[in-house]
Amino acid sequence: MPRFNELKTLYETQGLEIVAANYAQNDTEIQDFITTYGATYGMARVADDSGYTVPSYSTVFAIDRQGRLLWSGSSSLVTNAMVEDWLSPPAGKDGGKKEEGCSTSPAPGGSAAAAVLAALAVLGLRSKRIKARRVGALRAGSTVVGKDSGTPGARTDSSQGRQE
């Protein structure tokens, strides 16, 4: 990918390394990919992607100098500013962990929580509709009951019945 070539050229001297990992293709196919796209960044064939959540290709995991996750997401979302932020010296006292807000990715669990909330919202709307239908049915039912209870509506209904 030309984008990774560009990032490598721009930031290699500041300590950026790029490795594209693949477990689905054989060595020949990976070599062909390197030749076709002129990849100058690292390529590696690995056994599998266990330990990494890879929803789709290509997914990037930005890893800090201590081997900790900084960010993960689609490679198309990686900007120069993000890379510069990752390469900047750590601000905290713990020797590397970025201040909250510097990392550009929310915790993956946040997406799951959002999905759960969305599901609950759908269920809530559904139950409201059901309640509304029940209330409507009860009201309709009271009119029917009213036929025998002497309400004005019942009188109308019964009078219509007589006319028929």
Interface positions, 84-123, toward another protein (CB under 8 A): 86-87, 97, 103, 105-109, 111-113, 115-116, 118-119, 122-123
133-162 positions binding another protein, by CB under 8 A? none
Q: Of residues 2, 6, 10, 27, which one binds another protein by CB under 8 A?
A: 27
* Contact call for residues 72 and 108 (beta carbons, < 8 A): yes
Question: Of 87 and 144, which has the nearer Cβ to another protein?
Answer: 87
Rounded Cα distance between 161 and 88, Å, is: 86
* Contact call for residues 17 and 30 (beta carbons, < 8 A): no
Based on the shown chain and the rule CB under 8 A, indicate whether residue 24 belongs to the binding site for another protein. yes
Rg (CA), the chain: 31
Question: Of 32 and 140, which has the nearer Cβ to another protein?
Answer: 32
Closest of 86, 77, 103 to residue 15, by C-alpha: 86
Rounded Cα distance between 7 and 94, Å, is: 28
29-58 positions binding another protein, by CB under 8 A? 29-34, 39-47, 49-54, 57-58
* Burial of 4 from C-beta contacts in 10 A (0-12 / 13-18 / 19+): buried
From 60-68, 134-142, 143-151, 152-160, span contacting another protein (CB under 8 A)? 60-68
Question: Of 109 and 152, which has the nearer Cβ to another protein?
Answer: 109
